[in-house]
Amino acid sequence: MLDAAATAAALPYPALADALEALLRDDTVVVPPRLVQPLTGGGSLFVMPAADAALAITKLITFVPDNPAHGRPAIQGDVVVFDARSGQRRAVLDGPTVTARRTAAVSLLAARRLAPRPQGPLLIVGAGVQGRAHLEAFAAGLGVRAVQVASRSAASADALVAHARGLGLEAQRVDDADAALADCPLVVSCTPAQAVALRARPRPDAFVAAVGAFTPRMVEWAPDVCRHLAATGTLVVDTRDADHEAGDLLQAGLDVAALPTLADVVRDTPAWRRARRAGGPVFFKSCGWAGWDLAAARCALAAAAR
């Protein structure tokens, strides 16, 4: 039974990104569609199973967007890990910690593969849990040394800047995220995604990890910016689940089902070779997938065995 601290210790970002890449190469992985049950008050219950030849997991979490305003975490729950052959429970991981770290590690894996200038500087838009996780992941996995932070809350931005400086990074708060795009070839948007947060175009050499919007109704990037990126750069989604979940792209009227996935990139499939451009910005849309939690379970059990 791993609490939040023990779960984090078992999931170092570079090793977790390696586990994610290994999972995308594993043909035994099976991930059925996740169940999302609406809850009274605007929250959701997520039931997310996945399995491979050795392990089976279910992530059971709630997401309540306005919880932080009341001093509660937006995400709560657990990841339960079973032996796929015996059915024996192997571990219980802290759900919010797994969600934060595997989401940031997915962005790290995508940036490793796709970012034209992975050294940064990095712009983080949204200074919550995902902002902090992505800061740590990109510092540990890409060697980013400079970061700018934009948030609707100056206090939240200042807290993340202080954390970045504590890690030895150069960091500053910026009040205009659109203007900061011109300075940063690495961009992570991880806002609550209740309204458009970015209306300017990223740099031609930018890599964008768009994380905040994971339902068709959620949005962070203006539709005209998404259409510009589709016309001039390369769009990649995390999995085929994004076909009906990638709010930024769906609201821009783009054919998400025609876009390559991160698995296509890792496996260098014909779909990826047809889609990639030699130049232009890269927009990576992440929506979430229980396979990422299965990779985290693999990583955590390997750490325990060591």
| Token digits of residue 29 | 């992985």
pLDDT per residue as tens digits for the range 248-265 = 999 999 999 999 999 999
Which two structure tokens, joined as six digits, stand for 53?
């030849």
What pLDDT was estimated at residue 5? 97
Residue 19 has pLDDT above 90, yes or no: yes
> DSSP string covering the chain, please?
---HHHHHHT--HHHHHHHHHHHHT-TT-B-PPPEEEE-TTS-EEEEEEEE-SSEEEEEEEEE-TTGGGGTS-SEEEEEEEEETTT--EEEEEEHHHHHHHHHHHHHHHHHHHH-SSTT--EEEE--SHHHHHHHHHHHHHH---EEEEE-S-HHHHHHHHHHHHHTT-EEEE-S-HHHHGGG-SEEEE-S--EEEEE-SPPPTT-EEEE-S--STT-EEE-HHHHHHHHHHSEEEESSGGGGGT-HHHHHTT--GGGSPBHHHHHHT-HHHHHH--SSS-EEEE----HHHHHHHHHHHHHHHH-
For residue range 281-290, list pLDDT tens digits in order. Answer: 999 999 999 9
The total of other beta-carbon atoms located within 10 Å of residue 41's CB is 9
Distance of CA 231 to the CA centre of its chain: 24
Query: In this prediction, what percent of the chain has a pLDDT beyond 90?
Result: 93
Reported as a pLDDT band with limits 50, 70 and 90, residue 278 is: confident
Rounded to an integer, the average pLDDT of 45-61 is 97
Q: The tokens of 82 are what?
A: 């079973």
Q: Of all residues in the chain, what percent carry a pLDDT higher than 70?
A: 100
Residue 41, pLDDT > 90, answer no
Query: Does pLDDT of 177 surpass 90?
Result: yes
Quick count: other Cβ atoms within 10 Å of Cβ 38?
9
| Across 38-47, 124-133, 140-149, least confident range | 38-47
Instruction: Please give the average per-residue pLDDT across 46-64, as a whole number.
Output: 96
pTM exceeds 0.85? yes
